[in-house]
Amino acid sequence: MFDRELRLGDTIEDYCVRCKLVLDHGIVAIVGGEVRKVRCNTCSFEHAFREGKGGKPKKTKAQSLFDQVAASMPGFEGDESSKPGKKIPSRKR
Ligand SMILES: [Zn+2]
């Protein structure tokens, strides 16, 4: 998920339950390479890392919306059947 390895003290964005906002947090605990605990830089509240759940911009939602629009477009699925794949063979000579 992350391009670079995260280390203790690194700043990471997460949802702060106190501030009720996605804010910068300092990493205070890493287990098995995964961030487990963070501390809000704004209110200094320590909590489990939520992976930004609760307030991050939803890229995945926009992606699925795009898929829905694409799927509902006429000719998107029918493209396969409209191909001249089945040629009617001419009569045997
Ligand atoms: Zn906070």
C-alpha 52/C-alpha 15 separation (Å) is 5
**How high is the pLDDT of residue 67?**
75
- pLDDT confidence of 65, banded at 50, 70, 90? low
- Supply the pLDDT for residue 55: 44
- Identify any residues that bridge with 54 across adjacent strands, giving them in sequence order: none
What is the share, in percent, of the chain residues with pLDDT greater than 70?
A: 63
Could you tell me the pLDDT band of residue 9, with boundaries at 50, 70 and 90?
A: very high
Ion ligand 1 nearby residues (CB, 5 A): 16, 18-19, 40, 42-43, 45
Q: Say how many Å lie between the CA of residue 64 and the centre of ligand 1.
A: 31
Q: How far apart are the C-alpha atoms of 43 and 10, rounded to whole Å?
A: 17
- CA 44 to CA 37: how far, in whole Å? 12
